Amino acid sequence: MEQQQGFTGIGQEILFAARNELYMNLPYLDAALCALPFVPGGGMTVSLATDGLQLYYDGSWLSERYLRSRVLTNRAYLHVILHCMLRHLAKKRGKAPELWDLACDVAVESILDSLEYACLQDGVSMSKQKFYGECRMDMPVLTAEGIYRRLLRLNLEEYEVAQLQRRFLVDDHGLWDPEQQDDDSRQQQDEKWQDVSEKTRTAMETVLAGQATGGEAVLEQVRVAVRDDVDYRAFLRRFAVPREVMEVDGDSFDYGFYTYGLRLYGNMPLVEPPETREEKRIEDFVIAVDTSMSTSGELVRQFLACTYAILRSAETFTRKVNIRILQCDDQIRKDTVIHDLEELKTYMAEFELCGGSATDFRPVFEHVNRLQKEGAFTSLRGLVYFTDGMGIYPKKRPSYDAAFILLEEPPLSVQMPPWAIRLVLALEGLEKAARETAEEYEIDLENLPQL
């Protein structure tokens, strides 16, 4: 018992020392580093663990790790803090627990391995570097969400998952279970770290300006963690134009005169309801798809499937449209014209990805500008470009709105032009938009064309 009490005090001193050393090297993380009070594990953990409100520790584990190397305790402390800052705990709901825990550990370790501070450098094994490289083939920034999707696609055997866990496991995720917390506690914990991450992002954008210390890896992921949810349906509707449709307009019809006429003359209303109403519908529209090697074909397919579900809703899609779907890498690979819903459905059923070279956005804008001059559009409001954001942009602003839809936050090195509308939309957001549209307009998602 006395030995255990001694380890408890030693463990606390080690955590204080680690926090102080991290603060001296990474002052922009001050709010995050001090956000978790230390609590002895009490049998809940054999390493480090957190529920987002407190940091539980095992003194003997910390002592053994500290004797091996002070760097290891620094990394373990920051490992837990980064989990909280990136809101990995709150995002676990609805995920496969084992794969989500692994994805979070990989994302955090990739950050720690990229930070160029002596207090964190422990050498990166070849096996970890190899896995990072494989992940970067699918995503520009190694986020837990992106790594989780990759692990799901890989469908790894149990022993392969165990090998990765041994490579990246640091802390205990046993307190992350969303079912063990009530809604109020879970919301309180998430709001706390959302606020901490916002403050950290502001501090980092100031401190890291013009520097190259490796802290950019933290900032890239913090930006992902604090971005707001986006309504993709509302976003698409901004490209609609007012049009009259054959439908009774109840909003502009005075039922008082209508019923008065029926009472006065029996069966003769004084006014008839308007047979048309003005609504905003998408008619002229361009969807451009980046088909370069850096863009995942599976994500392109899911983007098109979700967009299809939204466009076919009665509120958005007119009977006759003029939608151009362009596939482009460093040149236009395919230009398809869609005139009605049936053509869109056929296109989705027969869709094939064309391309695989480098990314150059300019050919798409040059092509659309040429179509405008030839009279191919009557009221083009905008262009939506699905891409990873890494490519050559036009210097001149087009005459229409241009939105770049990104499923992952691009690296800080990517500088988008000021006229570009940038929308970072997680895959979950796309799926949610498609699901809500299907429920509202009674669309059977299972019978959508399978890509």
Residues 113-130 have pLDDT tens digits of 888 888 998 888 899 999
Residues 265-275 have pLDDT tens digits of 666 555 555 55
Q: Which pLDDT score is estimated for 245?
A: 45
Q: Which pLDDT score is estimated for 449?
A: 45
Q: Which pLDDT score is estimated for 212?
A: 47
Q: What is the band of 260 on the pLDDT scale with cuts at 50, 70, 90?
A: low
Full set of structural domains in the chain with CATH: 2-226 (no CATH), 232-447 (3.40.50.410)
Residues 362-407 have pLDDT tens digits of 999 999 999 999 999 888 888 999 887 888 999 899 998 898 988 7
Q: Which pLDDT score is estimated for 368?
A: 94
Q: What is the band of 175 on the pLDDT scale with cuts at 50, 70, 90?
A: confident
Q: What is the band of 163 on the pLDDT scale with cuts at 50, 70, 90?
A: very high
- Terminal-residue alpha carbon distance, the chain: 62
What average pLDDT does range 418-442 have in this prediction? 71
Q: Which pLDDT score is estimated for 160?
A: 93
Residues 292-322 have pLDDT tens digits of 765 655 667 667 767 776 676 645 555 577 8
Contact yes or no for 85/32 (Cβ under 8 A) = yes
At position 316, the amino acid (one-letter code) is T
Contact yes or no for 51/189 (Cβ under 8 A) = yes
Contacts of 203 (CB under 8 A, 6+ apart): 27, 28, 29, 30, 31
Q: How many residues does the chain have?
A: 451
Q: Please tell me the pTM assigned to this model.
A: 0.66
Q: Which pLDDT score is estimated for 355?
A: 77
